[in-house]
Amino acid sequence: MSIIDPLKSSASAKRLRRTPEEARELILDTAQALIARGGPEGLRLQDIAAEAGISHPLILHHFGSRAGLVRALARRAAAALRDRLIAAMSAPNFSLEEQIGQVFDALRDGLAQTLSWLAATEPDGGESGETMIMREIIDTLHARRTAAAPPDATISREDTEWRVFLVTFAAFGDALYGAPLRRSAGLPETDDTDRRFRLWLAALLRQSL
């Protein structure tokens, strides 16, 4: 028979007490981690609750339903991608290679899978407007390219758009299917393989300048 120390039990309860915002973030963090491990199709509320150490009703309290959770998760992921990429492109000392690396890194760890849900569940962008993040990213990059160009040079906005789309498509594909594609091609799953592909993509973009 075990004896429970009431003081330790009380201290543990206090450590687990969370604000509503902390609880929401915990649920979203856990859901994204599960998506990264098993894909979005297998995401179940009971699995999130078990992984996070919370109750199933608490998830429903904060998000209303599984669909509500998916929308909140996708919108947060879209905002996170926007903030990371705009911060990277606004940094004055970031090279083209570093910017491409930021895009590829930002879409890993479940973010690409989560964003694909946004397109599937809210193809029109819903009420949040988060699917307009590409416009903000393009605006930021185009402003930087224009400011860095020689006085007599004209930078086409369409050219900036195609560059952003190319890198984003490549980064999405890498995050979602890169590992099996590399294996099917007999390429080693190493950091050096990633690095060399990103350098090749940067060189390709430089050639078209």
Question: pTM of the entire structure?
Answer: 0.68
Quote the Cα angle for 93-98-114, to 5°: 125
Q: Enumerate the H helices of 133-190 as residue ranges.
A: 133-148, 157-184
Distance between CA atoms of residues 57 and 6, nearest Å: 27
State the DSSP H helix or E strand holding residue 26, giving kind and residue range, or none if neither: helix 20-38
Cα angle, residue 131 at apex, residues 127 and 133 outer, rounded to 5°: 125
Task: Compute the C-alpha angle 153/156/158, nearest 5°.
Answer: 165
What confidence score (pLDDT) does residue 121 get? 60
Nearest to 140 by CA among 101, 79, 91, 95: 91
Cα 153 to Cα 107: distance, rounded to the nearest angstrom = 33
pLDDT of residue 148: 83
Around Cβ 5, how many Cβ atoms within 10 Å? 9
Q: Please, what are the averages of pLDDT over each run of 10 residues along the chain (209 residues)?
A: 43 60 91 78 85 92 88 81 78 80 83 72 50 79 87 90 91 90 92 93 86
Q: In the structure encoding, which two tokens stand for residue 74, read together? A: 């996708």
pLDDT recorded at residue 1? 44
